[in-house]
A and B are shown apart, each in its own frame.
Chain A
Amino acid sequence: MFAFIVKRVAQALLVMMIIGFIGFAIKHNFGDPVRDLVGERVTPEERMKIREKLGLNDPFMVQYGRFLKAAVHGDLGRSFFFKKPAMEVIVQKAPATLELVFASACIIVFLSVPLGIFCAIRPKHWFAKFTMGGSIVGVSMPVFLTAILLIYIFSVELGWLPSYGRGETVLLFGWWRSGLLTADGLLHLIMPSIALSSIMLPLFIRLIRSEMMEVLESEYVKYAWAKGIKPRRVWIVHAFKNTLLPVITVGGVQLGIMVAFTILTETVFNWQGMGAMFIESVDRADTSLMVAYLVFVGFIFVLVNTFVDIIYGLVNPMVRVAGRK
């Protein structure tokens, strides 16, 4: 296990360094951050002076070297717009995104598992057919369209749910701004989390269904039936547990992708998280914040995948974590 974790940490560092390099290499194409700091009337000479002061005129390798040196000390640069260290901005915005992802993940898990199992054991039932049909629609509808439709129906026409923002938040541990503990915060969370889960939910229903159907055909399930074990036990303990392996693998990758999808969801719902922050930083050419976000998201990807590997070993003792011979 120790060797595995060391290997993963090294891997994470490498991934983050590569992402940092790519981010750094392309940041010049996103425009001049100084443009956004000054009004349109400021002369090129004045802008040049500001660039000089911020060190933006140095050669690429000098800037990258400076970035790496600071990054080793945990400093990923300074956001030009927020006038603060980029990491501080990201840590402030991260709870919003993580809560949104968490809520969506809950929706996905609690709906896809029962629905997937049901569709597998009663494939001919009208409800199973309806679910499968519905999941095609869900999978083919872009997130932002789902989001806009939800806003239109539930906020504009019916007036039931708030259309933007996080509502009332509570400060936990002095830094985690949580919307999960107030009624208003939860009300604000409903539509964004549904919108975000709309892409993955159908995918997981389908995945669980097909895996489960395959397992139900296997020899040991037939044997279990022959032994006269109760259907519920066959389905849940014998069959479902074994469909979990591929589901967890896909789930790990998808969780990372979901962080990426928050960019769209957060923009439409004006959810003050990292995703909306990233899009705005692109608009403002706040390049150091962009690079820091990319590195941070890269870190989350590696982290999630490491977890998936560990959990994998726990679910199925036959599978040993990679790195252990």
Chain B
Amino acid sequence: MKRFHSGIKHLILLALVFAALVLSGCADSKKEEAKPEAEKAEVKQEEAGQEPLILAFDAVPVAMDPHVQLSGGMLQYSHMVFDPLVRWTQDMDIEPRLAKSWEQIDPLTLRFKLREGVKFHSGNEFTAEDVAYTLERLKKSEDFKGLFEPFDKAVAVDPYTVDIKTKEPYGLTLAMCTYIFPLDKKFYAGKDEIVKSGPSFANENESGTGPFVVTKYVPGEQMAMKANPNYWTERGNVEELVIKAIPNSPARVAALLSKDVDFIMPVPPTDMKRIDETEGLKLTTLPGSRIITLQMNQERRPEFKNQKVRQAIVHAIDNPGIVEKIMKGFATAAGQQGPKGYAGYVEELTPRYDLEKAQQLMKDAGYENGFECTMIAPNNRYVNDAKIAEAVVSMLSKINITVNLKTMPKAQYWDQFDARTADIQMIGWHSDTEDSANFSEYLMMCPDKETGIGQYNSGEYCNAKVDELVIASRSETDMAKRAEMLQEVERILYEDAAFVPLHWQDLAWASKDNMNTEVIVNTMNFPYFGDLVVK
């Protein structure tokens, strides 16, 4: 009897707990009633019989509003759900998308003829008004307004003709139009506020012209899409896809190896060989354009003011060795900022590893016995960032420079970087404009708090000639002359050893081998999933 009694007590307790849990949940579910439409469509998607294609990324897009953040992830998303006016091809040419053709009608105006009969996901027709509206909104976005600073406005001449005007002659107008993904003006009008850390209409709804329509979005977890049935042009054959977030790299690789997912990016270099050798999978790589560099702070360290010391450091660092040993060959050792194919690229500016010369330079500079300095690097921002930093420390010890290294996660790193807390700081840079000038503008020009120029120049390198050339290149519309200026800049930086170039990271994607992955990828790392064909 006694035992029976205590059993009942148990049951009552359990029931109470359960009731409490359910009740607390009900209170929450009421709040959730006003769910975005994307979540309601969930049932539909699950009913469809065909297996969706699963793409595993390190993160899913942070919102459905393409203007909320300027980041690789958001631009990848934009290419899936929206369409740009023009886009880059794999060999860095510009191809028409929503714009059929274009011509420069005066130094400030680029006139676009738009495609007719294109419909947004909402059913509204795409016209020149939408382009004008989108540029206006881009100029309001905290993230994009910097890039679109040279732009004045877009004027709709007729429904299918739009003039994009810049404030001054600008050599990169067309290239920047790869960032203009027209938004549906009628759909967004009136509720288009760009909100970074709260709910908003645009964060939870979309209407673009792109190959895919979002059907379900769970922030931080997944985003499901289905093919746009009214797409204006030929596309691949993917009917449904799901982007899943698998932030942990080994887990992402394991999911692909066990064929639970169809496509992964990014691919950690340590697993690239393995994926390549696994049957049924393929690895696609392209040389990338993100340069990894070290900046030597001349304000903090008087030694770094001495050009010979900077030269010695550049000569002491074996960057081809880093590429081979640490990057496993999946990178290209660099001697300058922009990679081959960029306007400012100079063939003869090659990596300079030469330890003897480095030691001689230190002797000439009067620092034969070296000195001590500090260095910081992130440990989860770039591929193998912390390992590279450690290798640099041991390389610099050979010219008697003792480096005290501190590595940290990126969440903490950028504050330290901005505060210039160490003598040597690591930074990687991918040019937003796919052009050489962008590197110098952010990394090498004299820092100016007012204009934001040189914002990430923690080396405090300042050379009037470099500034003059880069500024002149902006308004130069003759591409040959412009390239000459930018090449001159690279030569000066090389001669001055203004920074330590390490390498350009390769880009890699891994997928099952029944897909045409090699056709849809490009060096911007915006895979055009709309063109994906699965056999």
Contact = CB atoms under 8 A, between A and B. Distances in A.
A282 B411 CA distance: 8
Given A31-B411, A91-B25, A277-B220, 12 more contacts: A39-B143, A44-B455, A50-B142, A151-B254, A155-B255, A163-B255, A267-B248, A270-B245, A270-B247, A270-B248, A282-B409, A283-B409
Nearest to A154: B258
B270 to A, nearest CB: 14
Given A175-B29, A268-B250, A314 B414 contact: no
B32 interface: yes
Contacts of A45: 452
B411 A155 contact: no
Interface in A281-311: 282-285, 307, 310-311
Interface string A140-177: 00000000100110011001001111000000011110
**Does more than half of chain A's interface fall in helix, strand or loop, or is it mixed?**
helix
B258 A156 contact: yes
B418 A152 contact: no
Given A91-B28, A175-B28, A283-B409, A162 B196 contact: no
Interface string A30-65: 111001111111111110011000100000000000
B380 A283 contact: yes
Contacts, number: 162
Interface stretch (A76-84, A117-125, A217-225): A76-84
Contact of A176 (B25, B221, B411): B25
Interface string B14-31: 000100001011101101
Given A156-B258, A162-B260, A173-B22, A44 B418 contact: yes
Contacts of A214: none
Interface of B: 6, 9-10, 13, 17, 22, 24-26, 28-29, 31-32, 56, 62-63, 69-71, 142-143, 146-147, 195-199, 203, 219-221, 244-248, 250-251, 254-255, 257-261, 380, 409-415, 418, 432, 442, 449, 452, 455-456
A240 interface: no
Contact of A35 (B25, B143, B415, B442): B415
A32 B17 CA distance: 38
Given A37-B197, A39-B71, A280 B29 contact: no
Q: Which 8 A-B pairs have the closest CB atoms?
A: A39-B70, A31-B411, A155-B258, A285-B411, A43-B452, A175-B25, A174-B29, A31-B412
B411 A174 contact: no
B162 to A, nearest CB: 26
A88 interface: yes
Interface residues of A, number: 59
18 contacts: A35-B411, A39-B70, A39-B143, A41-B146, A41-B147, A42-B70, A42-B146, A81-B220, A83-B203, A84-B199, A155-B255, A163-B254, A164-B261, A173-B22, A175-B28, A267-B248, A268-B248, A314-B9
Instruction: Name the residue in B10, B255, B455 with the highest tally of chain A Cβ atoms < 10 Å from its Cβ.
Output: B255
A314 B10 CA distance: 8
Interface string A67-86: 00000000000101111100
